[in-house]
Amino acid sequence: MTADHPDPPDRHDPAPASGPGPGDATGGTVAWFHCFSGIAGDMALGALVDAGADPAEVRGLVERLPVGGWALEFEPVLRCGIAATKAHVRAEETGVVRTAAHITGLVEEARLPDRVRQRALATFRALARVEGQLHRRPPEQVHFHEVGGLDAIVDVVGTAAALEVLGVDEVQSSSVANGTGMVRAAHGLLPNPAPAVIGLLEGAPTHGVDVAMELTTPTGAALLAATVTAWGPLPAMRIDASGFGAGTREIDGRPNAVQVVIGDAASSGSTGAAQVGVAPGQPVVLLEANVDDVTGEVLAHTIAALLDAGAHDAWVTPMVMKKGRPAHVVSALADPALVGQVTRVLGAESGSLGVRGTRLERWPRSRAIDTVEVAGLPVRVKVSPGRVKVEHDDAARVARIGRLPLREVLSLAEAEARRDRGLSLAADPPDDDAPA
């Protein structure tokens, strides 16, 4: 849904949306949230737009959700004299109470870019886990009340979209402020901070301030729990942009806003790749487990489950263990924010008694997901410099429905994508830095 309300003026140039490469001049892009007055979903979204995320691009990604009846607007405001952006989600009140499984289905169906989908799903899974513990229900059966409303869904997916538009590779945060007193929720009055907020911020630095209102909402806490990889003061970075996202209410003597600072971590003095003249890459964790008592079918299911849990990639490597026993190493590459859930899946599905992890860096090439039509049906294609890769599952579905050879569908989809993008059939351009 597009909005009639004017967007705030652009004050910063957004960072490129693609990840860094080994030959790039800059390292990974970091977003640091300064939660001096707490954080909510609309505040996080407003801050990222205030820092330069293009509102039209953010809306365009959120509009992929298969649900209507909402509009997203951004308003320039002041909070205690500080210029900020207020995100407004205008949504129809339908009274629909959505389950965690329902919201997961909406996000999965939306065909969002990988990191947008993963960050949004991780946020709702964090909420479902905590709400399930509080109400003693399986996470997938949790009924979201306030968090299941269209406004909260748009806030979460919109924040994930804005992080992608700004090309953010890593999210960090300060200590998170919380208020006092009681707050009203669907189940009645709850202590402030709400039990869900306490559960979501377990292990994170927090502090209370003497303000009798809800400063950190469950949605805001879930966004932090799902995306933050490091907590503390402003990290060493070359600052590229910053912005403030406004809360709804005014607070005497305190700006009701959250700040985000966007910067390049290349100047942070990090070790590893930077010491050998290569800019730092996107942080990832390699998770592995050795197994010698599972079937091929179980291994295949484990790989699928790891990818569903948010792993960037997963694979199996044959090996020989002690006493000559044939075995396999099950490996998964995960974002640091998703290590917990990917580790749990790896242990549960493989039956391993332990999982080991190694922190690594990766340099993903820029890519975009397009959709083309073959035989009147949509097919997703991944487009990167000089290359088009057709999504196999989409092509197989079209081949089955249209009774066409799979190879023909792949060829038609690739040709259509190249025509739309104006790409030639030539191979990838040579790497200028490659040895002769």
Q: Which fold has domain 282-362?
A: Alpha-Beta Plaits (3.30.70)
| Per-residue confidence (pLDDT) for residue 279, from 0 to 100 | 59
More confident residue, 225 or 432: 225
Encoded tokens for 391: 């999504």
d(CA 283, CA 268): 14
Q: Which of 331, 393, 326 has its CA nearest to residue 356?
A: 331
pLDDT tens, position by position, 235-268: 888 899 999 999 999 898 899 999 999 999 854 4
Q: Exposed (0-12), middle (13-18) or buried (19+): which is 397, by Cβ within 10 Å?
A: middle
* pLDDT for 79 beyond 60: yes
- Global pTM exceeds 0.75: no
Q: pLDDT grade, residue 11 (50/70/90)?
A: very low
The alpha helices in 240-321, defined as continuous H runs, are: 296-308
Q: Exposed (0-12), middle (13-18) or buried (19+): which is 93, by Cβ within 10 Å?
A: exposed
Q: pLDDT grade, residue 2 (50/70/90)?
A: very low
* pLDDT for 160 beyond 50: yes
Domain positions in the chain are 29-269, 282-362, 368-421
Cβ–Cβ contacts within 10 Å for residue 341, how many?
20
pLDDT tens, position by position, 29-71: 999 999 999 999 999 999 999 999 999 999 999 999 998 889 9
Q: Which of 10, 91, 88 has its CA nearest to residue 46?
A: 88
What is the DSSP track for 97-112?
Answer: -EEHHHHHHHHHHT--
Encoded tokens for 126: 């964090």
422-434 average pLDDT score? 45
The per-residue pLDDT of the chain, averaged, comes to 83
Asked whether 171 and 163 are in contact (CB, 8 A), the reply is: yes
pLDDT tens, position by position, 186-217: 666 788 888 889 999 988 999 999 898 999 99
pLDDT tens, position by position, 361-416: 888 776 777 888 999 999 998 887 778 889 999 999 999 999 999 999 999 999 88
Q: What angle (nearest 5°) sits at the alpha carbon of residue 226, between those of residues 103 and 101?
A: 20
DSSP code of residue 142? P
Is the backbone of residue 156 left (phi > 0), alpha (psi -120 to 50) or beta? alpha
